[in-house]
Amino acid sequence: MNTQRLKVIGIIILFSLFIIVTGIYDFLAINRPAAGANILVVEGWLWKSKAMKEAAEIYRQGNYDWLVTVGEPDEGEQKSTNARKSTAELAALRLQEYAIDGWKITQLPVPEVEAHQTYTCALTVRKWLNEKNLKPTAINVFSLGTHARKSLVLFEKALGQSVKVGVYAGTEDTFVPERWLTTSRGIYVVTRKAMGYLYAVLWPLPNQG
């Protein structure tokens, strides 16, 4: 193979990598709500984010019968205390700051787990649906930025084929999404979430029970 051909192949590879890298944010930060969903699930871990205001607006503008927050104990509080609030509760409080009545919010606290946090939250939602004898044809999940694709995959796996899962990607507020490649924070978050997505697709999940 001559040098000229190697150069052409090299350029094609670099160009392909450029397309993959520059397009990865939009792939991960997917906005694909399910039509007809009457349940909005807000992931509690993003309770500190400004995107919670977006979640409140989506609930107000949508025809939802249920608004659910789900999450583990907050990482920011002392693990030595038994009084750690769940992120489900903290997310509910944030939503109330944006004029959502507390009685409209169902909180689903999740026990602390070492791994599979998002999947465990999805299973908790499934358990709640079964306990309430709710049989929705579709639900929407509100996540944050590049975490959205992972959440979509894991909620789909947990809820099964009978429930159409949609997702909203709240706006990142720790870096500018359009310029994520120019900041260390952006590169860290996008790379980490890309690995999380691959885990969601490829890694064996625990027994669904």
Classify domain 26-202 by CATH number.
3.40.50
**Could you read off the pLDDT of 88-112 as tens digits, one per residue?**
999 999 999 999 999 999 999 998 8
For residues 172 and 192, what is the distance between their CA atoms, to the nearest angstrom? Answer: 14
Task: Name the band, by pLDDT with cuts 50, 70 and 90, for residue 54.
Answer: very high
* Residue ranges covered by each domain of the chain: 26-202
For the residues of 159-209, what is the DSSP string, one character each? Answer: H-TTSEEEEEEEPPSSS-GGGGGGSHHHHHHHHHHHHHHHHHHHSPPPP--
Average pLDDT, the chain: 88
Is residue 157 pLDDT above 80, yes or no? yes
- Tell me the whole-structure pTM to 2 decimals: 0.86
Handedness of CA 117, 118, 120, 125 (dihedral sign): positive
| Region 127-137 average pLDDT | 95
| Region 166-182 average pLDDT | 91
Is residue 32 pLDDT above 70, yes or no? yes
Is residue 136 pLDDT above 80, yes or no? yes
Is residue 82 pLDDT above 60, yes or no? no
Nearest-5° Cα angle at 137, 134 to 141: 90
Task: Name the band, by pLDDT with cuts 50, 70 and 90, for residue 43.
Answer: very high
| Region 73-79 average pLDDT | 68
Beta-sheet strands, E only, within 44-163: 66-71, 105-109, 138-144
Task: Name the band, by pLDDT with cuts 50, 70 and 90, for residue 120.
Answer: very high
